């Protein structure tokens, strides 16, 4: 089956509409000219609706990981302390990035597939006292677990004078995270997840507190220097050459999202996830995460004893044209992960469940 006809049910990249794909065929323009300035400002204004912020939005030509690198290296200096709940591969990488920047990561740890409780986090914050930033992975893509207490966590961090950074790479758009209302200083989202654009761009919401900090304390990074992006943004430019075709596609995808409405898109993700979990359990399969902490955008499912991960996913692809992801880290070969994000519909969920039922 050709790649164009396959149903991509990955935790990103995900399915992209024809109109978004066509947008990438627009002509190359001068990234220092007025046409690009109009394109960039349009992306930024439409993104503010998703972030629910009046602050600035930085657009990076990078993966979501690049966005999180920027969120760490712009805030953490040698000797700084950051609190990081660790409950999967990506939150573990985040803690390691804090340490690469010279900081100390105070890990609040739980087993992969579970999540630290809010009481655990609050206890760690109270014990630590003074710290520079709280880094939260909202949706742990590796395990299908979502933290349910971002608003409360942001509150206690700000009560301690700390910055609040949220990795919402695989969740914003499938969830509502009102950054200004909740006091989130930096929120990061990837283009290829719930926004339903091709991969290659990370978007960062930036609070006034962050603006003031980075302008007065330059980071030891050139490409990810947020102060530089904010400065260039005042004239409708990026400091370095942008991925123009992806910018065109992202702009169109954001227009699609605005036409649907954020609340409607969030509701669609919630309904499709509920149907997917219900269907998985009716097949006698067990989701990795407990019902209270399950992600609505990444559904991780444990294999029955004796299932060959590679053979299962190969058959799902070759016989049904449906692509899902395997596990990694301690879950490698033990689970498969289904993306429930972006353009996901009830029909896509039904098709996926039917194919899983046959192939498992």
Q: What is the pLDDT of residues 38-67, one digit of tens each?
A: 999 999 999 999 999 999 999 999 999 999
d(CA 339, CA 14): 7
- Please measure the distance between the N-terminal and C-terminal CA atoms of the chain and give it in whole angstroms: 20
Assign domain 3-13+261-359 one CATH number from 3.90.1150.10, 3.30.450.20, 3.30.750.210, 3.40.309.10: 3.90.1150.10
Q: What is the pLDDT of residues 265-274, one digit of tens each?
A: 999 999 999 9
All CATH 3.40.640.10 domain ranges of the chain, comma separated, are 18-259
pLDDT along the chain (360 residues), means of 10: 75 97 97 98 98 98 98 98 98 98 98 97 96 98 98 97 98 98 98 98 98 95 97 97 98 98 98 98 97 98 96 97 95 97 98 97
In DSSP notation, 91-146 reads HHHHHHHHHHTT-EEEEEE--BTB---HHHHHHHHHHH-S-SEEEEESEETTTTEE
The answer to whether 78 and 257 have CB atoms below 8 angstroms apart is no
Cis peptide before 13 (omega within 30 of 0): yes
Compute the distance between CA of residue 91 and CA of residue 77 in angstroms, rounded to an integer. Answer: 19
Please report the pLDDT score of residue 4 as a whole number: 54
* SS3 assignment, position 44: helix
Position 357 scores a pLDDT of: 97
pLDDT given for residue 2 in this prediction? 46
Topology, domain 18-259: 3.40.640
3 state SS for 46-98: HHHHHHCCCCEEEEECCCHHHHHHHHHHCCCCCCCEEEEEECCHHHHHHHHHH
How many Å apart are CA 272 and CA 279, to the nearest integer? 10
CATH 3.90.1150.10 range(s) for the chain read: 3-13+261-359
């Amino acid at each position: 089956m050709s790649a164009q006809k396959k149903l991509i049910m990955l935790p990103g990249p995900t399915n992209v509409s024809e109109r978004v794909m066509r947008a990438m065929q627009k002509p190359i323009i001068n990234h220092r000219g007025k046409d690009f300035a109009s394109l960039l400002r349009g992306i930024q204004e439409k993104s503010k609706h998703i972030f629910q912020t009046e602050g600035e939005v930085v657009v990076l030509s990078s993966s979501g990981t690049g966005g999180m690198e920027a969120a760490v290296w712009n805030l953490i200096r040698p000797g700084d302390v950051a609190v990081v709940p660790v409950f999967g591969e990506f939150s573990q990488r985040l803690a390691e990035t804090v340490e690469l920047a010279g900081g100390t990561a105070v890990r609040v740890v739980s087993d992969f597939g579970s999540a630290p409780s809010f009481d655990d986090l609050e206890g760690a914050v109270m014990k630590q006292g003074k710290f520079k930033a709280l880094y939260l992975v909202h949706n742990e893509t590796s395990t299908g677990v979502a933290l349910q207490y971002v608003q409360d966590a942001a509150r206690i961090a700000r009560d301690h004078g700390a910055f609040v950074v949220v990795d919402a790479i695989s969740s914003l758009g499938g969830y509502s995270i009102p950054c200004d209302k909740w006091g989130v200083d930096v929120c990061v989202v990837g283009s290829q997840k719930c926004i339903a654009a091709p991969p290659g761009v990370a978007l960062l919401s930036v609070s006034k507190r962050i603006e003031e900090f980075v302008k007065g304390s330059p980071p030891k990074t050139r490409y990810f220097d947020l102060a530089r992006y904010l400065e260039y943004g005042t004239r409708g430019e990026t400091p370095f050459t942008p991925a123009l075709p992806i910018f065109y596609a992202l702009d169109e995808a954001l227009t699609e999202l605005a036409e649907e409405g954020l609340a409607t898109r969030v509701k669609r993700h919630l309904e499709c996830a509920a149907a997917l979990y219900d269907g998985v359990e009716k097949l006698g399969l067990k989701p990795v995460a407990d019902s209270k902490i399950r992600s609505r955008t990444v559904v991780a499912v444990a294999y029955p004893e004796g299932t060959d991960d590679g053979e299962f996913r190969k058959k799902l692809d070759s016989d049904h044209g449906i692509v899902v992801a395997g596990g990694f880290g301690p879950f490698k070969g033990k689970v498969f992960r289904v993306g429930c994000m972006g353009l996901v519909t009830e029909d896509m969920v039904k098709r996926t469940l039917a194919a899983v039922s046959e192939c498992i």
